[in-house]
Amino acid sequence: MNVFKTIHKSAWVSVLSLALLSSCDKGFEELNTNPDASPFIQPGYMFTKAQMDVFSNSYYSTGVLAAGGSMQHYATYKDVPGIGDKYYFQQGSYPYDYFQNAYPTAVNEITEVIRAVSGNPAQVNLLSVARIWRVYTMHRITDLYGDIPYSEAGKGLTDNLYTPKYDAQQAIYADMLKELEEAAAAFNTSQATMGTADLIYNGDITKWKKLAYSLMLRLSMRMTKVDAATAQTWAKKAIAGGVITTDADVARINYVANGQNFNWNPYAAALRGADLSTSSFGQNNTEGGKFAKTFIDHLKTTQDPRLGVLSVVWRNEGTTATPKYVADTSRTIQKGMTNGLLAKPADFGTYSEPNPNVLLKYDTPVIVISAAEVNLLLAEAAVRGWYTGEDAATAYAKGVTSAMKNWTLFGAAGVITDNQIKGYLAANTFPTSGTTEAKLDAINTQLWVSLYPDEQEVWANYRRSGYPKLTPVNVPGNATGGTIPRRLLYPPTEESVNSTQVNIAIQRQGRNELTTRMWWDKQ
């Protein structure tokens, strides 16, 4: 480069800069403004982003490998991605991906929405849905890690607070329940809503109320082992407020297959991008993943019609030299891979994996909270004597029916007929005359199936209920002593940058290990 030209150009820039600084009233602010950005928070745009970022965060590492493997929905023969499959953690960032990605995106975004609409009575509905969504966001984080930054989260921009305290999970739950109650009560039908910025209900505050109370019911049931009295109080409040009991009110975010990849279903995108290439036909999956034997065996043993919706085996209709693979949903050939394998099975290509016509489609919804889940929780509340609106068997049947009907939302390959549902319920009756334990087992085993593919919630419900009774693996060198993990790990960046607050949390909760139980996860 010509040195003279470089010096000359630098001098000219310096003169220009001085001229601009000496005449700020002659257009400097206009020149210094990004025409593609707003200096003010646009609540609707930010709220849309906050809704999406809860689910687009680390689904493969957190949902599939950690939670899904631990819950024996998924299996892998490889060791590096074996955090849930065989309780290995040797390298990578699987145990803390969700934490370190959630705060800069979903948490900060919903915090800014709340800040932008607070104090304006005309925006009370915007504030209420933002408060509810913050609870949804934060409960997913605390249920993965336990004590987390909560009351001081998102204050880096407003307060220059970059080392927030870690709140005790018990205090977090108390505040989340309070937030849901206050937000639901504050809705005003005469004021504006989020409208189309709301990807779930398009601004329908009646449905948002039901979502708030349904989330309240979920959180209350989370406390059954640690504080049954408080759990009962909040469960009754939720039920009285009105929860999601019909499929018309299911909370979901719809996605589309065209446009940029943020329009895609994040679960499908993660599965396809990380492991299940549509060109592999199940023969050489990147991370060695398949459906687990425990999951497939259960679906087959109970004659569950969801097996044909969820699972395929890639069958070769061609020759060895010229293969022609087809996705076969036939019940008889489905088989799951054993958790804890240390080498690739010779027949790897014959094991079941997610149906590409259902679970790997980009234009399918993510279900936030469903009537299936709520009805099954109501069935448990009835067993506990906290709900008298109907008997447990009725709520159970409604939950199972809704769970199977939900797959219709995924297209023609997801349709389960009424006759199939009736046949399943007839073969898998609710144990009305059984023990309380038998009833809780039946309900929560259904949740283990029905909540899939929301593996974070599957894992949380398992830890709080103890069902289904899963047999852990115990391979050499595992990090848990052969027990199913109870939490994920705080990131190393937190341990270095925010060490004081992390250490306080560890002293209160227990060591930063996969086996440490959080507040609501008691024996």
DSSP 164-193: PPEEPHHHHHHHHHHHHHHHHHH--TTS--
d(CA 45, CA 434): 51
The two tokens of residue 278 are 């549509």
Q: CA of 166: how far to CAs of 57, 136, 150, 222, 522, in Å?
A: 21, 18, 7, 20, 20
Q: Residues of the chain whose pLDDT is less than 50?
A: 1-25, 28
- Three-class SS of residue 403? helix
Residues carrying CATH 1.25.40.390, the chain: 43-257+365-509
Q: Running DSSP on this structure, what letter comes out for residue 513?
A: S
Whether the link from the prior residue into 81 is cis, omega within 30° of 0, is: no
- Characterise 466 by phi-psi region: left (phi > 0), alpha (psi -120 to 50), beta (else): left
Residue 11: the pLDDT is 33
Tokens in use for 414?
Answer: 């997801």
Burial of 260 (0-12, 13-18, 19+ CB in 10 A): exposed
Q: For residue 81, report the phi and psi dihedrals to the nearest 5 degrees.
A: -85, 20
The predicted-structure confidence for 7-50, as pLDDT tens digits, reads as follows 333 333 333 333 333 444 455 455 555 555 556 679 999 999 99
- Looking at residue 9, its pLDDT comes to 33
- Tell me what percent of the chain is helix, strand and coil, each rounded to the nearest 5: 55, 5, 40
Strands 251-253 and 366-369: antiparallel
pLDDT value at residue 7: 31
Q: Select from 446, 459, 366, 377 the least CA-distant residue to 406.
A: 366
pLDDT at 278: 74
Burial (CB count <10 Å: 0-12, 13-18, 19+), residue 33: exposed
Three-state DSSP class for residue 292: strand
The verdict on domain 43-257+365-509 having CATH code 1.10.150.20 is no
End-to-end CA distance of the chain: 71
CA-atom Rg of the chain in angstroms: 25
**pLDDT on residue 357:** 97
Q: What pLDDT was estimated at residue 365?
A: 98
